Chains A and B, each alone.
Chain A
Amino acid sequence: MSAPFTVPIRDLTKSGIPTLAEIGDRLRGGAWVFVGLGILLLVLGLFLQPERSWANLLLTAFNLACVGLGGLFLLSIQSVTGARWSDPILKAHRAMPALLPVAGVLMLLLWFGASTLYPWARPDAASQHALHGRLAWLNTPFFFARVVVIFSLWIWTGHRLARHGKGSAAFILVFAVTFTLANFDWLMSLEPIWSSTIFAIYGFSGMFLQGIAIVTISAIVLRQVGLIPAVSKAQNHDLGKLLFAFSCFWAYIFLSQFLLIWYANIPEETGPMRLLLQGKWMPLFYLNLVLNFGLPFVLLLQRKAKTNETVLLATCTILLAGRWLDLYLQIMPPVLQGGSPGFGASELGGILLQLGLGHMACWPVFMKDVNPAQELPQAE
């Protein structure tokens, strides 16, 4: 049907193409500035509007953990299915797990802000009827004990998988349980009486989509600097197809949750949806759908678009923004308790912190990984 259209490797003798190390050098200074500025803004936010600052810290910690898990999950899937097509082009997913310890530390910092964020951690929780059934599970010591256990499991299994290529099936098992608990604990419990069984799968769909977007960006950048030999358009096509498929998967899970809650219309359940569908949150609710599903669907529908690097990069950027918005919409409305959405010092600080920490934690591992061609990790 079609030729294997191989894209010629960049002529590295041509001037003006930076090496990976040069890019790293340039980014390093920026990363420090980002982290410093991020912390400063978050602390500033703590004085202006503490609940927003804490919420953004939660968002940062959770999303960094998700980036790490996304890398691990890709790695384990690749290892379990023995997929070979992806290994030459996917590199970033080995570096992404380095974020897990960082995210764990940030998550533990929430100990000091738990009572601001979580209704069950407030002193008056015991007197709230709706929370009675849950306090056995949701109380500050047990909650942070679970945080420690969950992160230890992730870091341990992740290390085994990323460094030694072992235990991919075991990781998936551990991941299924711990990721469910993490979503329920850290995000779902922000709402005092709400619960949704699909919630963790919804979180997973966003997490995995973001993971694919990140490795796609890294694959394209690596090809631009000439570090992936013999990358073909067909491999871009594969990445495009994955992005397209998982964007649809995200929409499917979103619809499953939304449609069922909307349809049954049970007051305890409609809480968060009702908040989002009214007032100033409503445009953001629709924007979330557009960023995570609408735009990627339209952009990547054509076959040509799936092989076009500019389109892929644009889609990935949109998806990363969409992921942030998706988390923002899960965290903020319950924390602000009916307040209006806003983008201020703490939001900016959270985003800067994510970018800065992301670079600082992952880049060294990435550099080490990319240069020597790594072997495919072995399944057990």
Chain B
Amino acid sequence: MPITESLCNSRFRASFAEPDQLLNAVKHLRAAGHRVLDTYTPFPVHGMDEAMGLKPSRLPRACLAFAVLGLAIAVGFQVWSSAIDYPLRTGGKPLVAIPAFIPVAFELTVLLAGLGVVASFFVVSHLRPRFHIPDLHPGSSDDRFIVAAELGPDVPFPTVAKEMSSLGATESCLLVDDRFHRESSFWDRPAGVGTLLVACLPSFLLVGSVLLLNRDFQQRNLSWDGGMGAPIAAQAYDSSGVLKGGKVLQPPPPGTLSRSASPALAFLAGKAEAERAGRELPNPFQPTQAHFNRGKVVYERVCATCHGREGDNNGSVIVARGAFAPTLLVSPVVRDMPDGRIFHIATFGGPTKMQGYGDLLSREDRWKVILYVRELQKAAARPIPAGGQP
């Protein structure tokens, strides 16, 4: 108790009405060997730092450090995201388009430097939201200029008070509590600023790791955008979940009439009907060059996939991959079929695997294809000059 008592009794304050008086008082107190703790003023008094012997702040260095950090983050992130993680070429610019990265790099440098220096300022000056304001002296935020000091050894307070009032003090009193005990702050030392930066490091690392983990937010309803990134959309070659047989392209309903209004064929599917067609249906087209050309186009687009370009079953899709072989078009069996029967097969499908193409090819095209097939057969029947008969 006695120790605290003497400690408390050694601290006092004096308040002045003018900044110049305060400045004089501080100089006087320091010269007389008292320890000036701090001054409290409504605005910064010019020359007070020198009078109190304060060193210039090291905050500019913190500002520079944060600026460098901001620049590094901005450049690193832009290069990583635009050239490494998501290399998308836009506007004919290179992936690492340094000139285009300058604006954002500049903005982030300024942002981090500004926020960083303000944060450092708050930390080193112990500014934080408070309910109780420490060291608050009446009038220091209005028109009083106050000095708080600790009495030097063996100087009684009344002497100092007299000196103060001769310097213009309007009021001076001893401070009875120990609120002015001010330890030199850890954050004021260089180690403090360094510690601050190191303390910020985990958060930067955290932000960095979140970026690296971005692919782990795939699970629906956990992602930040409510799953809009993973839509229920059809993918190419998916089977349809709602249409019959999973097919998107459905056959027209039975009895559907063509809009081109040609009369319906008087035939049904089946072998008997095919033979009847062979007897009853002549090819309405003459083997002219134009019809032949059209037939060739249709054949090569539609038929050649299985039957082969030459009609020799050397098609690109099925036979080459070792599946079934279709009927050989250039075989004597087909050669001897009448046009009408081939037309029936092209329309309703063949006896084995072939599907009908009545829905896909027009009636004219089917007839013209037959003209082309006949030419293929003629070409295949021609003896091969060099080789012998198989």
Contact = CB atoms under 8 A, between A and B. Distances in A.
Given A2-B50, A3-B50, A265-B92, A303 B60 contact: yes
Given A2-B50, A3-B50, A262 B60 contact: no
Given A265-B92, A303-B60, A1 B49 contact: yes
A265 B91 CA distance: 10
Interface string B98-109: 011010000000
Q: Main secondary structure on chain B at its contact with chain A? A: helix
Interface size bracket, B side = 10 to 19
Interface string B27-67: 00000000000000000000001100000100010001000
Contacts of B60: 303
A303 B59 CA distance: 13
Interface string A254-294: 01001100110100000000000000000000000000000
A301 B92 CA distance: 36
Contacts of A262: 99
A255 B50 contact: no
Contacts of A259: 99-100, 102
A263 B99 contact: yes
Contacts of B100: 259, 263
A255 B102 contact: yes
Contacts of A265: 92
Nearest to B60: A303
A265 B49 CA distance: 55
A255 B106 CA distance: 12
Interface in B246-269: none
A107 B91 CA distance: 43
A1 B52 CA distance: 10
A2 B49 CA distance: 7
Nearest to A255: B102
Contacts of A2: 49-50, 56
A169 B92 CA distance: 46
Contacts of A263: 91, 93, 99-100
Interface of B: 49-50, 56, 60, 64, 91-93, 99-100, 102
Given A259-B99, A263-B100, 11 more contacts: A1-B49, A1-B56, A2-B49, A2-B50, A2-B56, A3-B50, A255-B102, A259-B100, A262-B99, A265-B92, A303-B60
12 contacts: A1-B50, A1-B56, A2-B56, A3-B50, A259-B99, A263-B91, A263-B93, A263-B99, A263-B100, A265-B92, A301-B64, A303-B60
Interface of A: 1-3, 255, 258-259, 262-263, 265, 301, 303
Q: Which 4 A-B pairs have the closest CB atoms?
A: A1-B49, A259-B99, A262-B99, A3-B50
